[in-house]
Structure 1
Amino acid sequence: MPEDEYASGYADADGYADGLTVGQAAARLGVTVRALHHWDEIGLARPSLRTGAGYRLYTAADLERLHRVVVYRELGLGLERIRAVLDDSATDVTGALSAQRAQVRERIERLERLGAGLDRMIDAHERGVLLSVEQQAAIFGPGWDPEGPAKARALYGDTPQWRQYAERSADRTPEEWQAVADATAALDRDLAAAMEAGLAPDGPEAGALVERHRAVFAAYFPLTREMQVLLARRYETDPGFAAHYDAVRPGLAGWFRLAVDASARAHGIDPDTAAWR
């Protein structure tokens, strides 16, 4: 049975049993019985009394020491550091507490950065692009639809790809977004130049552009070849995407779709059975 059930004492001048059992002391201090046992075992805070049956009893002086242990532990000091503060007169208590305060400040700053990062990640999962409308227009051009990310979230918000997109977006600076926009615009121009030069969609030059498209698109999420097939098909059939590519070069979306299909076949993928995977 627990030692509390056997322990007993008499009232001392401080008004409680001389002394308190382990369970009573733990309850008074708001710590666990296991902690008191550990502090006893390492000699940090031992009970002064024992019952005739050998059970621990804590006196008023013991409780005072335990209270000091709890205070310093809550301030983050390790047990050996607490022992030095309580027992070693040569210990610089102010210095020890100042050092602990510096560590606490560092942890607070780290947690604040973590909190800010979590806020950005939550925002990115909700909004997609963490840029103001003005920034989006300046980076992506006047034809950019600032509602596009919200529309995409409504369609794809529950997919792994949206989560990957949000994770990349959360830490992306306006300068990094500008680099993404520049890479995309350069690819569009080179696709148009390839089409105007009469390059075959199934030729090596077109295949290299298809690979480049996958690399550029990776700024949003990793794009498999099958996913690229479906995306290129959407470029051709979706009015918004088709208008974008037609503005770069009429018929470009269709030419690029043929190039993607040819590249997929070259890698053993049947475009007609491609799936989003």
Structure 2
Amino acid sequence: MPDATGADGLTVGQVSTRLGVTVRALHHWDEIGLARPSLRTAAGYRLYTAGDLERLHRIVIYREIGVGLDQIRAILDDSTADVSGALRAQRTQVAERIDRLQRLSAGLDRMIDAHERGLLLTVEQQAAIFGPQWDPEWPAQAHQRYGDTTQWLQYAERSATRGPEEWQAIAGAVADLDRALADAMDAGVAPGSPEANQLVERHREVSASYYPLTRQMQVRLGRMFEADPAFAAHYDGIRAGLATWLRQIIDASARAHNIDPDTATWQ
């Protein structure tokens, strides 16, 4: 629309610029009868008078504090409207939104922290939960090694929602599994047996506390447990040869599910 100026009013474009609202909004308010321009040029262009502009100023103020258009109409046009009550109700809604946004901000902070640190626990809490052999540098090392993987992101998402109690329960489940694995190996449980396969399923369930684990991924983990000195030291520290035995029962279970351990991939 041309921005021609009338002698006694402002065009839609001029009002849009002056009030910082869109021409589309002004057209909408005109269509619903909330703020109609009082004048028209001979060519039919809308012109807003000083009185129209004052009404628009008030509409903009109420819109900025979140008041709905129907409420604004009542405030401006209904002499019996409870303006204070409407504003108090709006203040309550704003306070609720602020609270939600603060909780959202706190959640984002935890998610960022979890992605960068892995564990949202103090060094003291880590030692109390995971034991004296735990190195608080391990999460940072894991982030450096795996931080760009989908599994690290999944781990961080779960970590962001966990506190010491949840981690204590997971650590307990891991310790119970380690004891069960050692006892089964001592008892001569053979790879591929029903008891060994049950332990493999239990291992996959416990490991899934950190991120979803497919059978092929579990095979790759089993191989890493045997080959990586740190993991091998952990399992062999529980029972000599446990790292190899764990790899063997995982491989045997995989074969029962038509997965070739030698060609399994991380997927």
Cα displacement (A) at 1:102: 0.4
- Distance in 2 separating the partners of 1:88 and 1:226: 70
The answer to whether the aligner puts 1:80 opposite 2:70 as a matched pair is: yes
**How big is the shift at 1:8?**
2.5
Root mean square deviation of aligned Cα: 0.9
Report what 1:14 is aligned to: none
User: What is the rounded CA distance, in whole Å, between the counterparts of 1:3 and 1:244 in structure 2?
Assistant: 78
Matches within 5 A, 1:24-173: 24-173=14-163
Residue deviations 1:108-152 (CA, integer Å, cap 9, x gap): 110010011001001111011111111011001111111111111
- 1:33 Cα deviation (Å)? 1.0
CA distance in 1, matches of 2:27, 2:2: 12
Amino acid at match of 1:229: V
1:250 is displaced (CA, Å) by: 1.3
Structure 1 runs (4+) deviating above 6 angstroms are: none
Query: Cα offset for 1:70?
Result: 0.4
- How much does 1:232 deviate? 1.0
Are residue 8 (structure 1) and residue 6 (structure 2) matched? yes
3-state DSSP of counterpart to 1:273: coil
Amino acid at match of 1:267: H
CA distance in 2, matches of 1:234, 1:80: 65
Q: Which amino acid aligns with 2:224?
A: R
* AA in 2 matched with 1:246: D
In structure 2, what residue type is equivalent to 1:208? Answer: Q
Q: How far is the alpha carbon of 1:226 from its aligned partner?
A: 1.1
What amino acid maps onto 2:192 in structure 1? D
Whole-Å separation in 1 of the counterparts to 2:24 and 2:163:
50
Deviation at 1:4, TM superposition (A): 2.1
Counterpart residue identity of residue 121, structure 1: M
> Within 5 Å, which residues of 2 pair with 1:160-239?
160-239=150-229
CA distance in structure 1 between the aligned counterparts of 2:217 and 2:134, rounded to whole angstroms = 23
Instruction: Tell me the distance in 2 between the aligned counterparts of 1:37 and 1:154.
Output: 55
What TM-score does the superposition give when structure 2 sets the normalisation length? 0.98
How far apart in 1 are the matches of 2:201 and 2:20? 63
- Structure 1 residue 3 displacement after superposition: 3.8
Whole-angstrom distance in 2 between the partners of 1:26 and 1:227: 60
Q: Distance in 1 between matches of 2:221 and 2:24?
A: 60
TM (norm. structure 1) is 0.95
User: In structure 2, what is the Cα distance between the partners aligned to 1:52 and 1:3?
Assistant: 13
Tell me the residue number matched to 2:260. 270
What runs of 5+ residues in structure 2 fail to find an aligned partner? none
For 2:157 and 2:3, the matched residues in 1 are separated by 54
Unpaired runs of 5+ residues, structure 1, are 10-17
